[in-house]
Amino acid sequence: MALRRVTKKLAPVWLRPYIIKSYLSARGVLGQVLNLGDTLKLEFTYHGQEPRVYFPVGYARSHNVWRTYATHPPLQYSPYRRADLCHWINRIPDNLEKPCIAECEHILALAGNITNWQTGLQNTAHINHLVEQEKCCYLFTYSAGLVAHSRKYLHPDLWSKFGYLYPVFPAQPEYEHPAEQPFRILVIASRFSDKGVPEAVEAFRVLRQRHGRNVEMSIVTQAVPRGYQLPEGVTLHDVPRMSETMKRRMFQSSHVLLLPCYSDTVVPIVEACAFGVPVITTRIHHGDEFVKDGETGYLIKSPAFSYSDQYGLRWKYWEDFVADIDRMRANGELQSVVEQIIDRVELLIPDLGLQTKMRTTARQLHASQFSPEARNRQLIEIYRNAIGKT
């Protein structure tokens, strides 16, 4: 996406398709090389360990949710040819050769393209066929809220195969938190409109007017439209993905993470818990699974969110949903989100004791729910149960 923006800005029209095509070809070749390296690594590190589970470790490079399978794996994974069980991501092969478990960002992702709602909605029968295969032992997503929303697309006879494991992030060492002013608000967004960046910025304008230089905001995103005016006090970090060093610096210098999102967003919340940073976010399909209202941060009411009863009805396509969010914003229907943000931030700014209490509780929630150790204990049990069924 960044390459397309730069190419459109700098390259002549006639040259743009060739640049994009060359990039995609090079990326494909690199992917094949990396996959070969992954296969060889699994072979060289295999020493007969049990249980013998295959995981496509290349996925660990593509998403923060899956990176911990490389950095904090539940076990030493085995080559495919030696495995008794496979662990797939966002897919279940048809006519399974080996027993498997699978994880998915949403049940409809099993149709092959999570970004295209219609692909999933039009292929629910095939998804059910994949899950009902005898060798498909278990399927999980990332929250109870996602399970509840996904179940409407899955036959009730298959619900016993479907559960959830929370995404995880490694625990972070204690550090001296910035107690002095200014109060720093961190926003992380992969997109602009549906991640609520306009509401975050609008709330900051008011906070800046009331508190002056005693409040600042950092936004980590590449999605701010060209020409969009950010107010004084906002620092934009235009990066596709934070390095671990940058992530540590951003969280350790922030008093609160603000995510007024209308679509699925959990990874930054899990990371914030690991660093002991309170979170203000919208109450969407997850409910209070990731933020305990008044304890680890605040949940604010949202007039709309993607994984609701309107999915596939009011919004048949992703573009319909984003257009509706933009329409609601233009009509002032999202102003309540702005007002709630301001209210919750102003509860935190003067109260150092509340900030400290929330940081402590956030770390406790991370240890019990969002740590690799907590995930791995459950995953090992899932692996052993699945192998025991075969």
pLDDT, tens digit, 9 for 90 and up, residues 268-311: 999 999 999 999 999 999 989 999 999 999 999 999 999 998 89
What's residue 326's pLDDT? 97
Q: Tell whether omega for the bond before 260 is within 30 degrees of 0, i.e. cis.
A: no
Tokens for 76, please give them. 């030493």
Coil, helix or strand at residue 186? strand
The Cα 350–Cα 138 span in angstroms is 48
What is the share, in percent, of the chain residues with pLDDT greater than 90? 75
What's residue 10's pLDDT? 62
Q: Residue 202 burial by CB count (10 A; 0-12/13-18/19+): exposed, middle or buried? A: buried
Tokens for 288, please give them. 């209070």
What's residue 90's pLDDT? 95
The residue with greater pLDDT, 61 or 256, is 256
Q: Which residues contact 286 (CB under 8 A, 6 or more apart)?
A: 143, 144, 145, 146, 266
Average pLDDT of the segment spanning 313-327: 93
The Cα 131–Cα 139 span in angstroms is 8
What's residue 221's pLDDT? 96
Mean pLDDT of the chain: 90
The Cα 270–Cα 366 span in angstroms is 7
What is the share, in percent, of the chain residues with pLDDT greater than 70? 88
The pLDDT-based confidence of 262 (bands split at 50, 70, 90) is: very high
The Cα 284–Cα 308 span in angstroms is 8
What's residue 102's pLDDT? 97
The Cα 359–Cα 172 span in angstroms is 12
Contact 277, 359 (CB under 8 A): yes
The answer to whether residue 48 scores a pLDDT higher than 90 is no
Tokens for 10, please give them. 């700098």
What's residue 369's pLDDT? 97
Return the beta strands (E) in 13-97 as ranges: 53-54, 85-89
What's residue 50's pLDDT? 83
What's residue 46's pLDDT? 73
What's residue 22's pLDDT? 73
What's residue 228's pLDDT? 95
What's residue 390's pLDDT? 65
What's residue 313's pLDDT? 84
Contact 364, 162 (CB under 8 A): no
What's residue 181's pLDDT? 75
Tell me yes or no: is domain 183-365 CATH 3.20.20.150. no
Contact 123, 107 (CB under 8 A): no
In this predicted model, what pLDDT tens digit does every residue of 81-105 receive, in sequence order?
Answer: 899 999 999 999 999 999 999 999 9
Compute the Cα dihedral for 204, 206, 212, 214 and give only its sign. Answer: negative
Tokens for 249, please give them. 């610096």
In this predicted model, what pLDDT tens digit does every residue of 190-246 receive, in sequence order?
Answer: 999 999 999 999 999 999 999 999 999 999 999 999 999 999 999 999 998 899 999
Coil, helix or strand at residue 256? strand
Q: What angle do CA 150, 373, 163 make, to 5 degrees?
A: 15
Q: What is the DSSP letter of 198?
A: H
What's residue 381's pLDDT? 96
Q: Which residues contact 11 (CB under 8 A, 6 or more apart)?
A: 19
The answer to whether residue 372 scores a pLDDT higher than 90 is yes
The answer to whether residue 31 scores a pLDDT higher than 60 is no
The residue with greater pLDDT, 86 or 27, is 86
Average pLDDT of the segment spanning 5-29: 63
Please give the model's pTM, rounded to 2 decimal places.
Answer: 0.88
What's residue 182's pLDDT? 92
In this predicted model, what pLDDT tens digit does every residue of 119-165 receive, in sequence order?
Answer: 999 999 999 999 999 999 999 999 999 999 999 999 999 999 999 99
Domain ranges, ordered by start, for the chain? 47-168+373-389, 183-365
Radius of gyration (Cα) for the chain, nearest Å? 22
Average pLDDT of the segment spanning 34-59: 74
